[in-house]
A and B are shown apart, each in its own frame.
Chain A
Amino acid sequence: MDALTQLAGGFSEVLTVYNILLIFLAGMIGTVVGALPGLGPSAGIALMLPLTFGMPHASGLCLLTGVYMGTMYGGRITSILINTPGDAPAIITAMEGYPMMLRGQGGLALGLSAFSSFIGGFFGLAVLIFFAPVVSSYAIYLGAPEYFLLMLLGLSTIVLLAGDNMVKALLMACVGVLVSTFGSDYISGHIRFAFTPELIEGIDFVAIIIGLYGLGEVFYNLEKRVRIDLGKPSFNIREYIPPAYAIKESGGATVRGSILGTVIGILPGAGATVATFLEYALERRISRKPEEFGKGAIAGLAGPEASNNASVPGSLIPLITLGIPGSGGTAIMLGALIMFGMQPGPLLMIKSGDVVWAMIAGLVLANIFLLFSNVLLIPVFVNLLRSVQGHLASVVIALCVVGAFSLAYSTFNIWVALVFGVLGYLMKKADYPTGPFILAVVLAPLAENYFRQSIMLGQGDWAIFIDRPISLGIIIAMVVLGGLGMATKRFMKRREPAARA
């Protein structure tokens, strides 16, 4: 109950008119920033940072975390409406949400994803409030070998994202691996394929997804002369509140997504991305209607969206208990804590506990505000899109170009986005799946680096993967799950002819 008393203390600090207004505004700003392709949590927090200098520390932190949470809500808007995810965890949202949009269910997709985002965020916050110290003391025992196996698990979902043609999927995964090798390699210290100085840090991942999804879709639609008919603007709010059947269908997925997102979101690096892909694979595996996936499945949208938001409080756990940032957004938060004169590290909760609890209380509040503001904002976004639907291609191109430019304030990334836009168009035309490609781009370098780190830690000995109990546990789980999967497949095949006969 200690946590509750401290949380109550946090709330007593946050519940002033000034702070409530601030958190509300932060959520709105975050939603808009997250909705713009190219601007994600890192950019949102960095943009707000100078504003917080004159504020009391608790208010400043509430503003930043509110923006962080808001970008997670906002990211789904462009994914669903114009097929342009703003960051890696929103890719699944585009894969399932955009087809719903094309079917005229954009409002439902937005409402449902806002709802599951809320549940996911809430679940993650509960874990943050009650178990943060316990969780982080265990999380540090996961090292490079465990991370490598986890990335492998993430990469294995390529099989599920493959669609009809496994060869095409594996081919695309290989191209993804190739693209991910550009830039400096911190393990060897060498720089690979840096034809111009801009490539020293590799190809910007966000420029890739802006091109692949946003521009690629536009090019394809231009050729096919697709006209998206979204109907006339309507402000009937009932269109946007998810009906009972949808909530029922997505309930299980949302809960599973929340748990998975919190657990995996705590891990640094690609925690949130791996969580969304694993959750997607899980939902597809246990679904009674797996053929709907990729064509706008409600469970496939809700589950990963819950994981996505559950990972935000998850990633804050190592930051506030140990001062270790697990993502781009939390790395900037770390900088902000230092600028506020606090010392992120194991003593943060002891030295500045009141401020941290006020920040957590602010997050709880932000999550509630965000649910309501996002549901109420859906008509605005949908109708905004409806009013420009005749010129949608030019609007999307403008957003993509501005988004790509804003990544490094240079035109270089616009060219990168264009190259991947053409690639995305060709892939769509020739029916190559984008999922395996993008997953390989995100996870292959991490898998590679964790693998090399493991072997280095073991001083050349592979035994490190089975000497460590957690690592051994993951390997056994993978083998058992894989074996079971194959066995049931065989069993089903044998039963099918029998049933027919």
Chain B
Amino acid sequence: MSQFELTDKVAIVTGGGGTSHGIGRCIAMTFAQAGAKIVVVGRHEESLNKVVEEINSAGGEAVAIVADITDPAQVDGMVTKAMAAFGQINILVNSAGGSTFGNPEDLSPAEWNDCISLNLNGTCLCCAAVAKEMIRQGGGKIVNIGSSSGIKGEEHAAHFAAAKAAVINLTRSLAISWAIHSINVNCVSPGSVEVPDHGIPDMPDDEYSKRQKLQSADAGSLGLPGTPQDVANAALYFASPGSDIMTGENLVVRGSEWASAYA
């Protein structure tokens, strides 16, 4: 299975502190198991340290860097610190993101801006800052985490859906721009993801029960929400040599949930 290994690679995983869906945390742990050295990035030092500790105690190698990815200076600092820690950056996973929920007509300008800033601007800042280093090094792999909301729209999270649609399109543009530098840029777009025993964090009850109704009773496990591991597996595929010729693509990981979007 060497085509899916990350031996001797260095991966930055933003949103790796497991603050919301636990996707970033799961990606960090999975990549460590696949052989990569991990730089876990997030705002909350305590939760970052927990992930680092888990990776290190399982025989992996990880460091935590506290950074707010919406702040260009902190993003530059992240790259400098990662280089100081491991001397190279081969993989970037932009997993930091999140959303509030509400009716679009009730969204405040601040809520809209915060959401675009975190999900789109933060991703773009990290891509640009890390790509400069990757260009110098002769290549790399960038995996953005989009969302199926960015394709199908989202009734109670228009700002999030718009930002994620932009991330999917940004992926394509960066892939074109950086192909000559041997940087693959791809996107993984999860549908509903549930953290075992935690449901979908921050989601209002009515939204949650509506989603559950959409999950067809006879659809088996493909009809259920995905897990952070499902997303991490796809991210690993795009970070590994197994996808060396793929760039600009968006892989949607949502079981048969898509069916409800077209019904």
State yes or no: do A and B come from one complex. Answer: no
Residues of B within 8 A of A (CB): none
Residues of A within 8 A of B (CB): none
